[in-house]
Structure 1
Amino acid sequence: MKTLKVTCAIIQFENKILAVQRSEKMKLPLKWEFAGGKIEAGESEVNCIKREILEEINIHIEINERLTPVIHEYPNLKIELIPFIANYISGELKLREHANFVLANKEELLNLDWAEADLPILKEFLAL
């Protein structure tokens, strides 16, 4: 099975963190995740995450740190999820694909029903 490389961003809005909820039409409907998307051919990880965040939620971010990538196998898909911690810079948050979003403190993030691949990333982030 081919591994799909995907980036995601833990976006900090001062002391709150952005989580987005997958729409009912997406794979893993209504699961929560950190926003991001697939790396295109010839694209760097950092350029990918900045582009995806702008396309999906209409904001500009600044990358601070790369966390440990997670390889996760879903029944018909294997992904390498490459996480970044980022700060919100500018733009009005507008969901183009997702059903909902929340700005939460670290403890509140634990109450969400996360996509499985995002869980190790959440745990690493909370341990920082």
Structure 2
Amino acid sequence: MVKLIKVTCAIILDSGKVFCAQRSEKMDLPLKWELPGGKIEEKESAEECLKREIMEELNIEIEVMESFESNFHQYDPTKKIELIPFLCCFKKGNIILKEHKTFCWRELENLAELDWAEADIPIIQNFLQWYSQK
């Protein structure tokens, strides 16, 4: 039986750049780049989850601005994720990485240069398409 795991991710946009986080060697998908976020806990909304996860992982506060279409991705036969993206803006705090190896703020035209986790690629593509039409 395939278990569906609901996971949020933040497209944190600041001054025309997107926050990108590199997974550590100890995590699944080591050294792949991702949009930060995490698993939704019971009785938690997707937005609440994202704010909590970003504070836990990065030590910053974000504001959730807009939701985007989810991406369903199956990494192995028993695990499928629903990656739920939100456009966010940085509110306050100093970034302290608690799980990731490193991070960068990347211009939109340079996002494709990173080695993204597979589930994040359609999210990035959808966001870039949406942004280009603004």
**TM-score scaled by length of structure 2:** 0.94
Query: Unpaired segments of 5 or more residues in structure 2?
Result: none
Match of 1:111 among 106, 110, 113: 113
| Cross-structure match for 1:77 | 79
Query: Unpaired segments of 5 or more residues in structure 1?
Result: none
* Structure 1 residue 18 displacement after superposition: 0.1
What is the aligned-residue RMSD (CA, Å)?
0.7
| Cross-structure match for 1:12 | 13
Would you identify which runs of 4 or more consecutive aligned residues in structure 1 move more than 4 Å? none
| Cross-structure match for 1:121 | 123
Q: What letter matches 1:74 in structure 2?
A: Y
Partners of 1:57 and 1:109 lie apart in 2 by: 20
SS in 2 for 1:82: strand
Instruction: Please say which of residues 48-57 and 73-82 is displaced more in the overlay.
Output: 73-82
* Structure 1 residue 46 displacement after superposition: 0.5
Partners of 2:15 and 2:109 lie apart in 1 by: 15
Q: Counterparts in 2 of 1:41-52, with a 5 A limit?
A: 41-52=42-53
Q: What letter matches 1:108 in structure 2?
A: N
Partners of 1:31 and 1:7 lie apart in 2 by: 17
Kindly indicate whether residue 43 of structure 2 is the aligned counterpart of residue 3 of structure 1: no
Q: In the comparison of the two structures, how many residue pairs are matched?
A: 128
Partners of 2:13 and 2:94 lie apart in 1 by: 14
Partners of 2:14 and 2:92 lie apart in 1 by: 10
| Cross-structure match for 1:65 | 66
Q: What letter matches 1:53 in structure 2?
A: I
Q: What letter matches 2:31 in structure 1?
A: L
